[in-house]
Amino acid sequence: RFSDKKERLMHLKTKQREFQKHVFEVVCTLELLNVLFQRWKIMSCKMRIEQLKQTICKENDEMTRHTEGLLRIKEENQKHYRRAQRHQEKKEKIQRHNHRLGDLVEKKTYDLKTQHEHLANLRRTRILELTSVIFPIEEVKTSMRDPADVSSESDNAMTSSTVSKLAEARRTTYLSGRWVCDDHNGDTSIGITGPWITLPNNGDYSAYYNWVEEKKTTQGPDMEHNNPAYTISAALCYATQLVNTLSLILDVNLPKKLCNRQFCGENLSRHRFTRAVKKLNANILHLCFSQHVNLDLLHPLHTLRNLMYLVSPDTENLGRSGPFEISADLEDSMEFVDPSATGETDESGDEHVSDEETDLGTDWENLPSPRFCDIPSQQVEMLQSQSTQVSQPIASSSAGGMISSAAASVTSWFKAYTGHR
């Protein structure tokens, strides 16, 4: 029994030693694992620390670059701010300068307007003196009998409707492509320089070239002192002188060049007389357009009546200067002064040359010969005497006349161009 217990003890001791050995091995393994884990943990911390150091360095570099960029941006902002201040000062300076220039322009504009008004008043005064002393124009009542009344007396069988139609036809005129009523047609005349020198109000100057044709067939001295041809030629001559003088006073370039002696020289043929009348009427209408005469009062056939409306004291814009518009309808109606004479030619054979010499023209496509481009000198002494008195108004009005002439030329050229197309 003792032996069993001893053997059992030995066996237990053997198991104890084996267990202790196993425990020792496990403990050693755990210690080794613990050491390895601590080493791995240390290495991981070192690697993380190194990464953090690299990240910190990188962030420090980025921070440095951002700080430098921020400093540069601040410097640029300061430069821009200083530049903006300088620009603001320049802007305020320019605004003050513009304000001063605006005040100066306003003052100069007011002075120019005052000078134009003074020049217009001076022109108006001179024109009224001219038309009241030298070239008075007035309406003269005539004792002409209505052809309808004469027809009713000579033919008792004529009906009243026919008489009224004749009277209505007598008071109509072809204007701007249509027949219009003319209340002043034939019952009155317009006198210039006196009631004894008159023109028919309806623009019918056939008495002149009828007398010229009769003069060619009938030789000998003319004993008739009250010949209507003399009256017509004298009135047209005075009207031409007045129109040329008005163009000098108003500083308006006339579209047609017409000499003062055109109607008072040799007897004109029907063609030359009609063309001269057309030019005179065109010049009068051009002056009326430049002075803004009411277009409803104008008629392309009424030579002296248009002139009377132009120089009338009731014309508000008489004496003005500046650009103006031209009525194309009234200009086109000038072709109907005497349509039957357009196809005739002058017997002298030099009509074509004389027309070119006396017509300045407004169509830029048909340029005349260079020897015809000289500026006509009309009463240079009068211009010199007037320029010494009113030099500044004349200069301003000359510019206005040039502008108006250029505008009229461009307008006429454009109308001619569109008409040809």
Evaluate if pTM is beyond 0.85.
no
Q: How far apart are CA 300 and CA 202, in angstroms?
A: 10
Sign of torsion over alpha carbons 395, 397, 401, 406? positive
pLDDT tens-digit profile of 26-47? 999 999 999 999 999 999 999 9
State the Cα angle at 203 between 202 and 207, rounded to 5°. 110
Domain count for the chain, please give it. Answer: 1
Is 267 within a domain? yes
Q: What is the pLDDT of residue 188?
A: 73
Helix crossing, 206-217 with 270-290: angle to 10°? Answer: 160
Domain extent, residue 209, equals 107-130+190-420
Residue 36 included in any domain: no
Least Cα distance to 260 among 241, 279, 245 occurs for 241
Residues in contact with 70: Cβ distance below 8 Å, sequence separation at least 6, in sequence order:
none
DSSP secondary structure letter of residue 226:
T
For position 334, what pLDDT does the model report?
A: 62
Predicted local confidence at residue 69, as pLDDT: 93
Instruction: State which residues of the chain have pLDDT below 50.
Output: 144-158, 163, 174-181, 183-186, 337-401, 420-421
Domain assignment present for 204: yes
Q: Could you tell me if residue 276 is inside a domain?
A: yes
pLDDT for 315: 84
Query: Within a domain: residue 383?
Result: yes
How high is the pLDDT of residue 168? 54
Residue 297 CA to residue 285 CA, distance in Å, equals 11
Q: What is the pLDDT of residue 260?
A: 84
Residue 301 belongs to some domain of the structure: yes
345 located within any domain: yes
Structural domain contains residue 154: no
> Given CA atoms 340, 345, 350, 356 in this order, what sign does their dihedral have?
positive
- Listed in sequence order, the residues at least 6 apart from 308 whose beta carbon sits closer than 8 Å to its beta carbon are 137, 138, 139, 190
